[in-house]
């Protein structure tokens, strides 16, 4: 018996996708352990998470994401682009579709231009109230933690946002966990360190909850960072967010959208 998989990445945020559209492949009670085993970059395949593509009763397809710490994440912007690319290539969806996630149903438009795949995701509306992040206290989140002024917003999952003059000078391995695990964050938080660029450009580095390390890119983190910068009046309605893995475009209007690429890295099978 073999388990077929596809490895995909969006701006260097990489995922192993298991197609469960027609049948369950990994038993429900084993999905977390499967993620812990195969996300390992030395003893497994290596990835920031496992995507399970499933059929949905309320959308065109369903995305579930299990992370290396065996937890399930409600939402992932880069993950949705990767899932959408696979589903589009497999013929499950067309140029426009909806994806069921733990953070609600997410509209996606996508396609190829000069063999490059790009998808635009309508992201969950950024929620700034502490109760929606979730975080202790009332009102919008602004807290001093370890010498950093920390803002927070929920863009499908909780994100802390820290503005700094030079993101390259931040010791993310130390500062990230201290903020991620701060007791004000009821469920913990992803942590984004943000440097203002020219005009409507920001540069970010993200310490990702569940991965418990810095990742090359985080779609919800890019959205969160742009949302806080926009909320504070530092950027306009179209923001270029430069991540370690490449740029994402976040637009603010009647809804908030994220535009970015996704690509297939390789396909394979896991022998059992």
Q: What is the 3-state secondary structure (H, E, C) of 71-89?
A: CEECCCHHHHHHHHHHHHH
Neighbours of 34 (CB within 10 A): 21
> Which residues are designated catalytic?
76, 218
Q: Is 266 in contact with 9 (CB distance < 8 Å)?
A: no
Does residue 1 have a pLDDT over 90? no
Token pair for 98: 């909806």
Q: Where are the domains of the chain?
A: 2-122+260-271, 130-254
In this prediction, residue 272 carries a pLDDT of 84
* pLDDT tens digit sequence for 199-247: 999 999 999 999 999 999 999 999 999 999 999 999 999 999 999 999 9
Tell me which residue has tokens 């990445």: 9
In the CATH hierarchy, which fold is given to the domain comprising 2-122+260-271? Diaminopimelate Epimerase; Chain A, domain 1 (3.10.310)
- Establish whether 77 is an annotated binding residue: yes
How many angstroms separate the CA atoms of 154 and 139, rounded?
14
- Establish whether 190 is an annotated binding residue: yes
SS3 130: helix
- Establish whether 264 is an annotated binding residue: no
Beta bridge mates, 64: 52
Beta bridge mates, 139: none
Beta bridge mates, 252: 256
Over residues 41-55, the mean pLDDT reads 97
DSSP 188: -
Architecture field, domain 130-254: Roll (3.10)
- Establish whether 192 is an annotated binding residue: no
* pLDDT tens digit sequence for 103-122: 999 999 999 999 999 999 99
Over residues 13-17, the mean pLDDT reads 98
| Same fold across 2-122+260-271 and 130-254 | yes
Over residues 23-34, the mean pLDDT reads 97
In this prediction, residue 195 carries a pLDDT of 98
Dihedral angle of Cα 22, 23, 28, 34, to the nearest 10 degrees: -90
């Amino acid at each position: 018996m073999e388990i077929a998989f596809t490895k995909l990445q969006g701006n260097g945020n990489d995922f192993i996708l298991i197609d469960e559209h027609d049948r369950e492949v990994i038993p429900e009670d084993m999905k977390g352990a499967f993620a812990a085993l195969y996300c390992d970059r030395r003893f497994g395949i290596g990835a920031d998470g496992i995507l399970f593509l499933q059929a949905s009763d309320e959308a065109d397809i369903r995305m579930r994401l299990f992370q290396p710490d065996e937890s399930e994440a409600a939402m992932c912007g880069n993950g949705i682009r990767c899932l959408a690319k696979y589903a589009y290539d497999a013929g499950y969806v067309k140029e426009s579709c909806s994806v069921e996630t733990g953070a609600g149903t997410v509209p996606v438009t996508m396609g190829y231009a000069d063999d490059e795949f790009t998808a635009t995701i309508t992201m969950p509306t950024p929620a700034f109230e502490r109760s929606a992040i979730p975080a202790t206290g009332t009102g919008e989140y602004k807290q001093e933690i370890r010498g950093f002024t920390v803002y927070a917003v929920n863009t499908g999952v909780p994100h802390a946002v820290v503005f700094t003059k030079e993101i390259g000078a931040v010791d993310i391995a130390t500062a990230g966990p201290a903020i991620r695990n701060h007791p004000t964050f009821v469920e913990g938080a992803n942590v984004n360190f943000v440097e203002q660029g020219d005009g409507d450009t920001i540069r970010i580095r993200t310490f990702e909850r569940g991965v418990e390390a810095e990742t090359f890119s985080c779609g919800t983190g890019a959205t969160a960072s742009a949302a806080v910068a926009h909320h504070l009046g530092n950027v306009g309605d179209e923001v270029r967010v430069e991540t370690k893995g490449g740029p994402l475009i976040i637009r603010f209007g009647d809804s908030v959208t994220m535009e970015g690429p996704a690509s297939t890295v390789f396909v394979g099978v896991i022998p059992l």
